[in-house]
Structure formats: C-alpha cells, structure tokens
Amino acid sequence: MDEKDAAKFDSYCSPEAAVEYMKRNARQEDADDVLRAIDEHCWKEQPRMSNVGDEKGKILDKIFSDCNPVVVIELGSFIGYSAVRMARLLQRDGRLYSIETNPAYTKLAQEVVNYAGVGDKVTFINDSASNIVPRLKDTYGIESIDFLFVDHWKTYYKPDVMSLLETGLFRKGTVVLADNTIYPAESNCSPEAAVEYMKRNARQGDAEDVLRAIDEHCWKEQPGMMNVGDEKGKILDKIFSDCNPAVALELGSFIGYSAVRMARLLPRDGRLYSIETNPAHAKLAQEVVNFAGVGDKVTFINDSASNIVPRLRDTYGIGSIDFVFVDHWKTYYKPDVISLLETGLFRKGTVVLADNAIYPGCPDYLEFIRSHPNFTSKAFDSHLEYSDKKDSMEKSVYLGE
C-alpha cells in the first residue's frame, strides 16, 4: 500500500468489512487461519484497525502461554481477534471473559470466535468494564483471575485495573498485559468521552454551545473523531441553509454532531432523518441532539443505509427529499446514492452533499456523480476535521429526469 492509499484508510475503518473478508477467506474452525485472514485484510486494506495484530500478537501468545491461565479477563473485545488468539491457547478447562461496551463489536466478536471454532471457551459481556468488574465474583462466579489483557480505551486502563485490584480476585502470579503503552492508534477514539465532555461543558438546550464543546474536546483530546467538524461544518451550514430543506436525510450519524448542525437550521416544520448502523453511535447521537434541544426535529434510524433507503417512502412516509448529507463509510456512498435515486424521492433541486471527498476519499462515487447526466457537481475545498490535511465536500444538485 503506498502513502496515498494508507492515508485514504487512515482513521476510518470498517470492522464489518474485516469480518466479511475473514469469512470469505479463512477456513472455518481453524483459529490460526482466521487470524491470518484478518491480519491479511488489515495490512492490505485497513491498517488502522485496532486489533492487537500479528506482531504484538506473538508477544501476547508467548506471555499468555507462559502464564498458562485458567481464568482470563479481557477489557475490550473489538472484533474478537485477540479473543481468538487467547482462546486457541487456553487449556482444556480454561475460560476467557471478554468485556466490550459497543454492542456492534460484541456481535462481531461472537461471530469471529464462533467461526474460529473457539466460541465454547469465551464469554462475551456487553457492557463497560467499570460496570462489570465489581460484579465479576457475584454475577459471573469468578474466584480468581490468572491473566488480564487490557486493551480498551486508554484513559480507562488505570481506573479499571484499580477496580480489579479492589475485587481481590488477583492471586500471586496474576499477569496483567496492557497493549498500546506507547501509541494509541488515532482510530482508538472514544465517542463516549466526547459526549461526556459535551455534557459537562455545554449549556443544555443551546445547540451552538453543544457544537462548540464537542469541537473543543476533539481539537484538544481526540482529533481522530469523525464529526464533520467546525471548518467543514460551516460549508455544511451554508449549503444546507441555501437549500432550506423541509426533509433532510443523513447517512451516518456518529454522535449526532452534524445532526445538531443541520437540525438547528431546519425550518419550523422541517425534519431530519439520520441513519446510523452502529447502535452505540445511534444512542449517543440521540443523547446529543436531545441535550442540544433539537431532538424533536430528528428521527434516528438504527440500521444500515442500504436496508433503510428502499423503505423511506413506505415505512417512514417520506414523499420527497430536499437535502442529503452522505457521510457514512466511503465505499457505500455510490451504491446508497444509486439506491436513493431509485426510490424516486429526489426532486429537481435536491442537494446531495458528500463529505470526505479527498480524505479518506470516495473516488468511485466522485466519478459516478460527476459524470451523471442528471446532476451538476462542485467541490468545496477544505480540511479534514480537527486536522490540517486537505479534504473537500462534493455538492451535487439533481436536475430532474
């Protein structure tokens, strides 16, 4: 992968795509082949995936095998890569308890360990470590912990290990292995931390102040967050206001930052439908728009855009769309906009605004929309959110049939 391609994928990753690749390319019930396929995909396509990976994975294997644990705890399952690594080395009566706060990741992790043939050795717990750790003894019947792999958000390492110590479950010889002690990948961002910061620092019911607080947090603490951000946000504001839409659609809500931007500019009877595939993101987005005082203007739909778009008319009673903000995974821009066109909901003048046209980039979409006879398109140059890297937004206006 050359520098340009690496940049393209930097900080945006699709865990689902990695699991799909694994299923197509790994032998079922062969844990080593599952690890190989995931590594292959990540090296080639998604270098920012936050699995422990093959190189540090070998260190994990060695320390884990030397410990020869019976009871293992993992903080942060992600897609279950390290769970497969550890479970395949567990002794006959061993068990791994893997705690993950994001339900979408827990689901993928369960699929991955099942596919790898080690599902019977792993218990996934879908909750935050801070909630679960104090209940490990009473709820999960754990008497003692032999090995702990710490690999969730970096700011939680210290409090959660302190809380584990307080459970009294460590024995002499318990091994604690923490990943990313030098480099937390940019993509390891915590949307939850951004929302907590916003709640502590923004005035409730003040949409402008909510945007300000989120931007402040992201510039200072989490530049890897994928909100449209303040700079491109102003372009979004202008194009949105010029369009003055009654019905707006967003593909990719994340934590609801752009939903707040748009909802605050909607006319009195306007409505924004925002589609988000990740339930944890959809939940945060609802909290953020409610906190900002614009919750009554937004309907979040927790599903993939490809499932929802064909049902916009019948299930959601939408008769026509005035504005679309396209900001989900970049490979879905083209198929989902094609599917939107097929609904017949675009009217003459419908505006489609696509984010990240340069970074990470959506070349197939740009080629499609710029050469489409029923659209006229224009690029708005800017910078990637919370960064000085070049990016642009592509505005395309539907000209009718």
Please give the full DSSP string across 328-373, using - where no structure is assigned: S-GGGHHHHHHHHHHTT-EEEEEEEEES-IIIII-HHHHHHHHT-T
Interface residue with ligand SAM, options 82, 277, 286, 392 (CB under 6 A): 277
356 given a catalytic annotation: yes
Closest CB to ligand SAM belongs to which residue? 252
Catalytic residue among 74, 151, 179, 327: 327
Interface residue with ligand SAM, options 328, 353, 360, 391 (CB under 6 A): 328
- Stretch touching ligand SAM by CB under 6 A, among 29-37, 64-72, 112-120, 246-254: 246-254
- Stretch touching ligand SAM by CB under 6 A, among 93-101, 140-148, 251-259, 387-395: 251-259
- Stretch touching ligand SAM by CB under 6 A, among 72-80, 109-117, 152-160, 276-284: 276-284
Nearer to ligand SAM, 257 or 359 (CB): 257
Q: How far apart are CA 146 and CA 73, in angstroms?
A: 8
- Cβ pair 18, 35 in contact under 8 A: no
327 given a catalytic annotation: yes
Q: Does the protein bind ligand SAM through residue 190 (CB under 6 A)? A: no
Rg (CA), the chain: 22
Burial of 220 (0-12, 13-18, 19+ CB in 10 A): exposed
State the first-to-last Cα distance of the chain, in angstroms, to the nearest integer. Answer: 41
E strand or H helix that includes residue 257: helix 257-263
Q: Does the protein bind ligand SAM through residue 309 (CB under 6 A)? A: no
Query: Starting from the edge strand earliest in sequence, which strands make up the sheet with 375-383, in order?
Result: 298-302, 271-276, 247-251, 321-326, 346-354, 390-398, 375-383
Please give the full DSSP string across 162-227, using - where no structure is assigned: HHHHHHT-EEEEEEEEES-SS---TT---HHHHHHHHHHHS-TT-HHHHHHHHHHHHHHT-TT--S
- Shortest Å distance, C-beta 304 to ligand SAM: 4
Q: How far apart are CA 397 and CA 372, in angstroms?
A: 11
Q: Does the protein bind ligand SAM through residue 396 (CB under 6 A)? A: no
Q: How far apart are CA 208 and CA 196, in angstroms?
A: 17
Q: Does the protein bind ligand SAM through residue 332 (CB under 6 A)? A: yes
Q: Does the protein bind ligand SAM through residue 278 (CB under 6 A)? A: yes
Give the interface size with ligand SAM as a residue count (CB under 6 A): 21
385 given a catalytic annotation: yes
Q: Which residues pair with 275 in a beta bridge?
A: 251, 301
Q: How far apart are CA 370 and CA 347, in angstroms?
A: 18
Q: What are phi and psi of 84, to 5 degrees?
A: -65, -45
Interface residue with ligand SAM, options 152, 271, 281, 395 (CB under 6 A): 281
Q: Does the protein bind ligand SAM through residue 286 (CB under 6 A)? A: no
- Stretch touching ligand SAM by CB under 6 A, among 72-80, 91-99, 273-281, 290-298: 273-281
Interface residue with ligand SAM, options 74, 160, 327, 391 (CB under 6 A): 327
39 given a catalytic annotation: no
Catalytic residue among 121, 283, 330, 334: 330
Interface residue with ligand SAM, options 252, 295, 360, 361 (CB under 6 A): 252
Query: Which residues contact ligand SAM by CB under 6 A?
Result: 226-228, 251-254, 257-258, 275-278, 281, 304-306, 327-329, 332
Question: Hey, which residues are catalytic here?
Answer: 327, 330, 355-356, 385
